Structures are given as C-alpha cells and as structure tokens.
Structure 1
Amino acid sequence: MIPALVTPLPWLLLAAVCGYLLGAVPFGMVMARLFGLGDLRRIGSGNIGATNVLRTGNKPAAALTLILDAGKAAAAALIAGMLWGPDAAQLAGAAAFLGHCYPVYLGFRGGKGVATFLGTLLALAWPVGLAACATWLAVAAVLRISSLAALVAAALAAPWAWALGRPEMILLCLALALLVFLRHRENIARLIAGTEPRIGRK
C-alpha cells in the first residue's frame, strides 16, 4: 500500500521541504492581488482557494488559481519523482498539500487543499487523478456544491487507486482524504444544516 522506500533519508527530507515550500505559495491571494479583487481572506468564506476566488465573480482569476494550486503540487511530485523516485514523489506531493493547507507565509492559515490534492494524484498516477477529477466534476455539475464534490472525490480516491491498479497509492490517498475532511469541518456542518452555498454564489 506504499511505494518501496529506496531514497536515502536526506533526499526524502529535501523533497518534503521543497514540496512544502512550493505548496505554501498562496496563488489564490496572488491572483486576487493581480486582478484587483482585494484581500481574499476578507471575501466570502475567507479561504484562499479557487472556489472563494470564484465568489468574487472573476472566473479567469478562479481558473488560474485552480490551475496553479494543482500545478504546484504536481510540479513538486514530478520533480521529486524524476530526481529520486516514487517514494520521494509521494512525499513531495503530500508535503505540497500540507504547505497549501498550512502555509508558513500566511501564519499556517491556508486553504482546504482540494486542487493540490487533485494535482498530486494527477502527477503520481494520471488515471487515478482523472477519475478523482471526474468524480468532482460530476458531483459539482449535478449538485452545484463545491465542498460536497471535494469530499466525495477525496473519499473515492483510494477506491479509484485500488480499482486502477495503483495499490501503492492507497495509503497516501487515505491520508490526504482524511485531511481534506478535516479541512472541511465547517462545510460539513453547513451541509448537514442545509446552508452550504452553491457554486457561483458571490
């Protein structure tokens, strides 16, 4: 359920640190600043991710945030994988996810990690990543609730990894899915109460 640990510990630590620092770059806030949207932490839910950027009504900024937040995790995993191997790739992707959720640049108050989660999966095993993305899109298209789509996609990531022949990713998928759920505690409470906002609402 995990890749063989063959990379020396110093290189694994370097992969983790570099992945974390890359993942901690708050692209949502960067896009908000570039597009003149104001302080993203004072808008909507206060989250720094693409969904909250979309609440400003600026779709290009939201799309760029989504791409960059996914891309930073994918880049971390791909570079670590090329330099050291699959074990370092998984660690760097997980570290990028943690960096997005708990960025040192913002006092460890970051986003909820959905885009970085999907970017990590796409980089490590694109069929698993595509399946998770398709799950998110299907739920979002039908129910128009981003948080619910994220929770379903995260919950099904490990089953997708197993079904698509990537058992070495199951533990990573389970760990990141748990963190996605933890980061969505308030959303889960609103889902239960029926007050969770739908996609597109400012």
Structure 2
Amino acid sequence: MHNSANERNYGHLINEGLENELEAKISRYLRDNITFVCFPVDEESQRLRLEEGIIATLNRHPSFGPSSNWLGLNSPLSEISSSGLWNRQGLQGQPLSDEELELVKWLARFGNDSYRNNTGRRTRVQRAEDSVRVAVEATGSQGKTADDVRQYIEKLLQEAKMIGEYYIDLVSGDIHKQMGMKNRMPQICRIMYEKMMPGDEVLHTTPSGKSSTIKIRYYLRNR
C-alpha cells in the first residue's frame, strides 16, 4: 500500500499489475519453501531470554552464516551484513545453555505439555529413543531399505508404548539423521504416513509433504 506522499511523487512509476504479480510469486515461494514452528513460553521474562539466547547461539555458531546472494549483505548496518540475521539486538547476548536448548527442543516437539511437570516423561522418552538409535547405529548406515525404515519407526513406537506413553511425536528429519541416511527424506516421509492409523495426527507438514520438518503424532493404545 502506498501513502499519499509517495503516490504524489512517484505514482507515475507504479505498475500495480507487476506489483501484484511479484507479491503472488513471493507468497508462493514462502508457502513452498519456508517452514517455522511456534511453541508456548508462559513467562515473558523466559520468552525474552530464550529469544536472546537463540539469536546469540546462531550468531556465534561457526556453521551459521548467510548465503552469497542474501540481500542483507547490502545492508548499511554492519551488525546485519556480518551476522546473517535481520536483527541487531541480542547478537552479543548469552548463548543458550545446554538446559535451555533442551527446553526449546521439548517445547517445540511437545507443544503445550508442561516442561516443568514432565521431567520423568522427558527422561523416559529420551532413553527409549537413545536405545533404538544405538541399536541402529551399531548396524551401520549402508544399504538401508524401506523395510529398515519401517522397522526403525515401529521400534520407536513400541519402545514408547512399553514405557507407558500415550503417544509419541516423530519428526522426519530426526529419523533421517538417526538412521544415518542421505537424500532419503521423501522415503522417510512416505513411510511415516504409511505408519499412521485412524486418530493419528499430522502436526506439521509442508506443501510437498516430503520435508525434514514433517511431524506426526502416533497414538499408541491400539498398536
């Protein structure tokens, strides 16, 4: 939308048809390529602390940086052009501690479940996943088939059921990484969908349905 001053000064240069076309292209790109996750943080002070910690952690991590064609490289503000973030505040803050990182991971994965009241559940879920992952790593990552993926997911489901969980949330990128696979994300996602039963929920998906952020909640009672 243009304000009146700009319309008076530059109205003759405005091509509304082209603007609408570009906006539609940008919207399609965002829908098809950008994913994000929202999670609840009850206390304002904690929200501000985690925000600062995430920004500082990204800014200081050696593997994080902008692509060569990132528009922010042309910013006149050195904090933006050098950090790879459209942000000036929090860059030099305190990075996330190990405990804070686990908190973020828990909230992002389990949503509204209370972090403070689920210490036992976090421990049980982590132990179950660790035991399955160790078993998979021991077999090596070469030559894994679709059946191997099915068996791995089934082991995660059964381990969670055995320790009394009502459901388990699985993320495609986690499975892909834990199994040591490369360029097999579509297969992982397809099998995750195959393993769904009536009542299971897709908590996060993308237009392609085959990204590393596919998240499905599997209920365990009838498995």
If the length of structure 2 is used for normalisation, what is the TM-score? Answer: 0.26
- Which of the pair has the greater relative contact order for Cα pairs under 8 Å at 6+ separation? 1
Higher normalized helix content (fraction of residues): 1
User: Quick check: which has more Rg, 1 or 2?
Assistant: 2
